[in-house]
Amino acid sequence: MQQQAYITISEEVQTALQEQRPVVALESTVIAHGLPYPANIEAAGAMEQAIRAEGAVPATIAIDQGQIRVGLSSAEIERLATAKEAQKVSRRDLAVTLATGKLGATTVAGTMLCASMVDIRFFATGGIGGVHRGATSSFDVSADLTELSRTPVLVTCAGAKSILDLDLTLEYLETQGIPVLGWQTDELPAFYVRKSGRRLPHRLDDITVVATTAQAQWANQLHGLVVCCPIPEPYEMNPAPLEAAIEEALELAHQQGIRGSATTPFILGHVAKVTEGESIESNKALLINNAQWAARFACAYFEL
């Protein structure tokens, strides 16, 4: 059976691809696991709207009934937003989720992989995964980083999630040869926080340079690249209480034996509870901001 037999593309996305118009992929884990209802469906709709407003086409990706679905309908997004049993799907999980016909929400790595299968090169997410705190003993390193090293997709994000070990995450990205570009910033953004204190090797302030960098990357058979956009300033959180909430969540996760793919949703959920929903509003804001910039980068690339 050929790969195409496992892929269903919406008419809107298929037409855009055939006409070589800009398309921006969106993950579905943020809908199923990243945000509570109804914030998840609000964010999903706002991200798609932001992409369309810039002249690009959104393609939210998920797995359902043995198919990789590229470009979800509003009813499919609603189902993901309220599903209790959606699986998190990374590269490791794709084949078995397809074979069993279960509902699956794609992670950053899973979305990159599925997007590249249909030649979508631009992707907007919240924050990439990375090297988890304590990874020197747990070896807990997100598959997102490995996927970036082998899949030709530009990922627009608010840096890496602040619950991670940001120093080791940057080291791992460098080892894998993944360009990390600061969009109008010299520092790695830390998801809810605009600055992390970690200087980036490259800062870009011109959209055309982002597009030509992507063009050069892929023309030379190189793979993924990360463009980091700081969270909009009005939604930035206070770093000190945020860090305290993260440390508390990490300790609770350790006590309860929560590991692997369950760790990030647990910690984000605890932070949302402690901050009385402030982190949810910040998360929505950075998601929409990243979608908007990803669409602008995609449009600039297709204008080259």
Task: Output the pLDDT for position 258.
Answer: 84
Confidence of residue 265 (pLDDT cuts 50, 70, 90): confident
Are the C-beta atoms of residues 225 and 179 closer than 8 Å to each other?
yes
Structure tokens at 259: 């590991």
Residues that are catalytic: 27, 161
Task: Output the pLDDT for position 280.
Answer: 92
Q: How many CB atoms lie within 10 A of CB 85?
A: 7
Q: How many CB atoms lie within 10 A of CB 243?
A: 15
CA angle in degrees (0–180, nearest 5) for 106-70-78 = 70
Q: Which whole number is the average pLDDT over 138-166?
A: 92
Question: Does residue 134 come out as left (phi exceeding 0), alpha (psi in the -120 to 50 range) or beta?
Answer: left
Residue 281 CA to residue 278 CA, distance in Å, equals 5
Question: 108 among the known binding-site residues?
Answer: yes
Q: How far is CA 191 from CA 28, 50, 92, 155, 175, in A?
A: 18, 19, 25, 14, 22
Residue 194 has pLDDT above 80, yes or no: yes
Question: 298 among the known binding-site residues?
Answer: no
Q: Which whole number is the average pLDDT over 136-161?
A: 91
- The CATH number given to whatever domain includes residue 71 is 3.40.1790.10
Question: 261 among the known binding-site residues?
Answer: no
Question: 273 among the known binding-site residues?
Answer: no
- Placement of tokens 């997709």 in the chain: 153
What confidence tens digit (pLDDT) does each residue in 72-87 have?
A: 999 999 999 999 889 9
Q: Which residues pair with residue 64 across a beta bridge?
A: 67
Confidence of residue 192 (pLDDT cuts 50, 70, 90): very high
Assess whether the previous peptide bond of 38 is cis (omega < 30° from 0).
Answer: yes
Number of structural domains the chain divides into: 1
Task: Output the pLDDT for position 1.
Answer: 65
Residue 134 has pLDDT above 80, yes or no: no
**Which structural domain, as residue segments, surrounds residue 236?**
3-303
Q: How far is CA 28 from CA 35, 82, 87, 104, 115, in A?
A: 11, 12, 10, 8, 12
CA angle in degrees (0–180, nearest 5) for 212-217-218 = 100
Residue type, position 52, single letter: R
Task: Output the pLDDT for position 42.
Answer: 97
Residue 226 has pLDDT above 70, yes or no: yes
Question: 142 among the known binding-site residues?
Answer: yes
Residue 210 has pLDDT above 90, yes or no: yes
CA angle in degrees (0–180, nearest 5) for 170-171-176 = 95
What confidence tens digit (pLDDT) does each residue in 274-284 have?
A: 888 898 999 99
Question: 274 among the known binding-site residues?
Answer: no
Residue 167 CA to residue 106 CA, distance in Å, equals 26
Residue 267 has pLDDT above 90, yes or no: no
Are the C-beta atoms of residues 193 and 239 closer than 8 Å to each other?
yes
Residue 196 has pLDDT above 70, yes or no: yes
Residue 135 has pLDDT above 80, yes or no: no
Confidence of residue 99 (pLDDT cuts 50, 70, 90): very high
